[in-house]
A = this chain, B = another copy of it.
Amino acid sequence: MMLKYYYDLVSQPSRAIFLFLNKTKIPFKKCRVDLGKAAHKEEEYKAIHPFQQVPAIDDGGFKMIESVAILRYLCRAYPDHVADHWYPADVKQQARVDEYLEWQHAHIRFHGSMYFQHKWLLPKLSGEPPKQSSVDRFQAGLETALDHIETIWLKDRSFLAGDQITIADLLGVCEVLQPTMAGYDVFKDRAVLSKWFENVKGQVGPELDQANFVLNKIAANSAIQQAKL
């Protein structure tokens, strides 16, 4: 039974796994869960994801949630498809990948998501203008996280967990790009981050634009709106 993948490309961890599955050519069945139509809130989706979120997988009856855990699982369950560099078997190299993946939850993911939600998503859903104090707070957190990616995680390294691309970079790039949908230019005055993004693009190739199709469309509209203000 082919792996079923439940996702919506508006969600950053959904994009990371989509990218990984396409890049490694693990065969999978696309099961889009349209967040815009609240498909994740339908009662039957609870059998797939008890918290009714995306992404999730069903691998021949083995159901899993939590994107970071799913990425690790896929590396172990599909060794014929997954080259060692994505999640190195070496204990210390693997630890470096894990270290970033645990750090990102409360930092770039938390602040980047909250910035996007408060600046773009909530105003869109409610028709009310953004609450500026919340936007400012999450923007400050986002900028600190971007500073730390540049000065700590990318210090003396080409990629987030060393000198080769890993699953940390795939999740990293999807989280870093999330605020661009709300019109925020994460690469402005950030030479280290920009260089890393080029490195990731160089390794991933056209699959990156494929995963970012929805994001790039929304980001372009937000940039036009920003320019009009």
Contacts and interface: CB of A to CB of B under 8 A. Distances in A.
A122 interface: no
Interface residues of A, number: 27
9 contacts: A51-B152, A62-B92, A62-B95, A67-B102, A69-B102, A76-B94, A102-B105, A105-B105, A106-B110
Contact of A72 (B51, B62, B95, B152): B95
Nearest to A74: B95
A73 interface: yes
B50 A72 contact: no
A51 B110 CA distance: 17
B73 A95 contact: yes
Given A50-B152, A73-B98, A76-B95, 17 more contacts: A51-B148, A64-B99, A65-B103, A66-B102, A66-B103, A68-B98, A69-B101, A69-B102, A72-B95, A73-B91, A73-B92, A73-B94, A76-B94, A105-B105, A105-B106, A106-B106, A106-B110
Interface of A: 50-51, 62, 64-69, 72-73, 76-77, 91-92, 94-95, 98-99, 101-103, 105-106, 110, 148, 152
Contacts of A62: 92, 95
A110 B77 CA distance: 30
A21 to B, nearest CB: 16
B110 A95 contact: no
